[in-house]
Amino acid sequence: MKVAIITLNYNGKQDTLDFLESLKRLQVTGYRLQVIVVDNASTDGSVSAVHKAFPEVDVLQTGENLGYAGGFNRGLDYAKAWGADYFLLINNDCLIKDPDLILELVKTLKSDPKIGLVSPKIYFAPGFEFHKERYGSKDLGKVIWFAGGKFDWDNISSLHRGIDEVDKGQYDPPAGGEEAGIFSGACVLIKKEVLEELGGLDEKYFLYFEDSDLAKRVAEAGFKIYYNSKVSLYHKVSQSTGIGSVVTDYYHTRNRLIFGIQYGRIRTKFALLREAIKLFIFGRPAQRRGVLDFYLGIRGGVNLVHLEGGIGLHLPGEHNVEYPIKLSIGIVNYNTPELTRKLLKSIFDMDSGFRRNDMEVVVLDNGRIDPCRDKIKEFLPKLKYLQNSENEGFSKGYNKTIRYSLGEYYLMLNSDIEVLEKGILKLLDTAEDFQGKAVVGGKLLFPDLSNQDSAFHLPTLTGAFKEYFLARRGAYFMFQPISPGRSQSPPSRWLRVEGLVMACLLIPKRIINKVGLLDEGTFIFFEDIEYARRLKRFKVPIYFVPSAKFIHFHGGSTKKIGQEKANEHLIEASKHYHGRFYYILLSLILRLGQKFGLVKTPVSRWQKVT
């Protein structure tokens, strides 16, 4: 059984450190535990502090403030790639109280297949009560913040049962657990079946009401929400945003309207709209902005820095974002265990430029046919290993390694690659020279060390005509870049190109956050061309780095698919990329060119770039 604990940090360094320290109280026998801190582009040194104090914890940097919903979704993706069965979403301002918290909550979920989520009893952390004057010293740590509850559909708000009451067992059901109308977003355990059916949190909310939205979808899907009174924890209430803050005013106002108009009864919707008008006229500035943005259809995170006391969102490039490590290398193996072993040997060789202290390797076995695990046992302590039950294809496989990576840069290597001297370091140094604003790729060589074509122009009808009928090499097919004005000479440092094959491609995480993951619309082929086109659309340059050299055993993985199946995937991918009409036109030019043109290269050899 695998359990992932996911917490979210945004400039809450001390709270996060206190929370992680409290995890030492947990009983962790009987299950495997993975702790994940998702950092929403903090500026207070959180990442380095956590990485130093708790090196066993995986710190996942989002690169920008994605809010509660987006941040936790990144953590969920990471935990799903790891293969978690249960996901504990917990605020970083919570403190573990009971050692058997995880085991007891899992027991609740296992008791009924229809129970999808469960929250424990939650107390105010001592000193964080709303009404401190009500309680004596003996009451501290026993004041209830959450003991189950329900959703008030007349007022569109969650009602916590027992809030502000001293716990005397009044909300402890005889069985220790009972069905509830809501769960607490401060701490909830979710079984994987819920996420498989419903996905994660809805990111249009950013902050507030994403938990209510999930509870609504969970109920509609037939799952139950439970409250377990046998275990509890402490919560430093409203540490993240502050009660009555600009952030709270804005997101609570806007998102209450979004949620209520989507799910509320007709009468409630009219009441909400009347209230919105009142807030727009008489409310605080952030409330008025929230109402306006609701009507304008603005969703997700919003920059509130212009409002008095507002907290702005840190967009990519706005400041230096901390990452726990510099580089993640992703490798997907499909029936090439010997090649994968050779690649890993070349990576961990001292001459590759790989640094164990700030780099990592993620290996995915894409299916259980001839996996590489047994062949790479000697490297397993040094790398992160994943396995799919079946072959999910190129893009899905590599996307999984991206989601499970922690580095500031991500280097995609095919399993049929071998790193030559300083290849990794030279690529990384070039990416650093460009300050993470460019994608870079190395020079590919055949096993005999002869040059291998690896660059391409984005395929067009004009390019196909020039290549076939005018014999202009490189206009359509792959080519080896050369420096302008230096006939047949490779560039001495780097050269900008439109596209490079993904056998060896280094992408900064900030660019992945901006441009997105690989297109999963195809099983294999055209993913490099599609991504190059997307990079061009986002004005992200691609550079060929000839000093970073890699041997490429071309087609090592695709040969395992079989020629007939590979051709089917090729045609499907071409139609997906070009569209059916453009695909027909290109096919016509290629066949005419093959018959009447100056270049007689067989079409099948170059179909990937058609």
| Residue 222 within a domain | yes
Query: Whole-angstrom Cα distance, residue 312 to residue 466?
Result: 51
Least confident of 70-74, 273-277, 302-306: 302-306
| Residue 449 within a domain | yes
**According to the model, what pLDDT value does residue 610 have?**
39
**According to the model, what pLDDT value does residue 182 have?**
96
606 has pLDDT over 90: no
Query: Whole-angstrom Cα distance, residue 572 to residue 544?
Result: 29
Beta strands 2-9 and 86-90 are: parallel
Are the CB atoms for 182 and 212 separated by under 8 Å?
yes
567 has pLDDT over 90: no
Are the CB atoms for 412 and 504 separated by under 8 Å?
yes
**According to the model, what pLDDT value does residue 227 have?**
97
| Residue 115 within a domain | yes
401-423 pLDDT, tens digit per residue, is 999 999 999 999 999 999 999 99
282-329 pLDDT, tens digit per residue, is 999 999 999 999 999 999 999 887 765 544 444 434 467 999 999 999
16 has pLDDT over 90: yes
456 has pLDDT over 50: yes
Are the CB atoms for 6 and 79 separated by under 8 Å?
yes
**According to the model, what pLDDT value does residue 315 have?**
40
Last residue of a domain, one of 201, 235, 269: 235
Number of compact structural domains in the chain: 2
The stretch 92-113 carries a mean pLDDT of: 97
DSSP notation for 577-609: HH-HHHHHHHHHHHHHHHHHSS----HHHHGGG
| Residue 304 within a domain | no
Query: Whole-angstrom Cα distance, residue 573 to residue 547?
Result: 32
| Residue 210 within a domain | yes
Cα maximum dimension of the chain? 94
pLDDT band with cut points at 50, 70 and 90 for residue 569: low
**According to the model, what pLDDT value does residue 572 have?**
72
Q: Please report, for the domain that includes residue 565, its CATH number.
A: 3.90.550.10
Asked whether residue 382 falls in the same domain as residue 502, the answer is: yes
555 has pLDDT over 70: no
**According to the model, what pLDDT value does residue 599 have?**
58
Q: Please report, for the domain that includes residue 207, its CATH number.
A: 3.90.550.60
Between 473 and 513, residue with greater pLDDT: 513
Closest CA to 334 of 290, 285, 371: 371
| Residue 499 within a domain | yes
**According to the model, what pLDDT value does residue 370 have?**
80
User: Which residues, in sequence order, are CB contacts of 212 under 8 Å at separation 6+?
Assistant: 151, 158, 182, 259
Whether the CA torsion 594, 596, 597, 599 is positive or negative: it is positive
User: Which residues, in sequence order, are CB contacts of 283 under 8 Å at separation 6+?
Assistant: 249, 253, 291
Alpha helices in 42-173, H assignment, sequence order: 46-53, 67-82, 101-110
The stretch 177-188 carries a mean pLDDT of: 96
Residues pairing with 121 in the sheet: 232
Residues, the chain, total?
A: 610
pLDDT band with cut points at 50, 70 and 90 for residue 488: low
| Residue 586 within a domain | yes
Asked whether residue 343 falls in the same domain as residue 213, the answer is: no
pLDDT band with cut points at 50, 70 and 90 for residue 560: low
The stretch 76-96 carries a mean pLDDT of: 97
331 has pLDDT over 90: yes
Query: Whole-angstrom Cα distance, residue 430 to residue 545?
Result: 8
- CA contacts within 13 A on the Cβ side of 182: 23
Are the CB atoms for 184 and 146 separated by under 8 Å?
yes
Query: Whole-angstrom Cα distance, residue 28 to residue 488?
Result: 62
Asked whether residue 220 falls in the same domain as residue 331, the answer is: no
Place of tokens 């047994």: 374
**According to the model, what pLDDT value does residue 557 have?**
58
Structural domain range at position 207: 2-235
Asked whether residue 231 falls in the same domain as residue 361, the answer is: no
Percent of the chain at pLDDT > 70 equals: 85
501 has pLDDT over 70: yes
Query: Whole-angstrom Cα distance, residue 453 to residue 443?
Result: 9
Q: Is 418 helix (H, G, I), strand (E, B) or coil?
A: strand
Token pair recorded at residue 538: 């986002």
Are the CB atoms for 111 and 179 separated by under 8 Å?
no
478 has pLDDT over 90: no
130-179 pLDDT, tens digit per residue, is 998 999 999 999 999 999 999 999 999 999 999 999 999 999 999 889 99
Place of tokens 């917990």: 90
pTM: 0.89
**Average pLDDT of the residues of the chain:** 89
**According to the model, what pLDDT value does residue 350 have?**
79
List strand residue ranges (DSSP E) for 19-57, in order. 32-39
Last residue of a domain, one of 235, 257, 284: 235
pLDDT band with cut points at 50, 70 and 90 for residue 477: confident
Least confident of 211-215, 240-244, 470-474, 493-497: 240-244
Are the CB atoms for 102 and 31 separated by under 8 Å?
yes
User: Which residues, in sequence order, are CB contacts of 153 under 8 Å at separation 6+?
Assistant: 264, 265, 268
**According to the model, what pLDDT value does residue 580 have?**
76
| Residue 560 within a domain | yes
Last residue of a domain, one of 235, 254, 274: 235
Place of tokens 């920059």: 303
The stretch 384-393 carries a mean pLDDT of: 92
Neighbours of 486 (CB within 10 A): 10
Are the CB atoms for 157 and 182 separated by under 8 Å?
no
pLDDT band with cut points at 50, 70 and 90 for residue 341: very high
pLDDT band with cut points at 50, 70 and 90 for residue 605: very low
223 has pLDDT over 60: yes
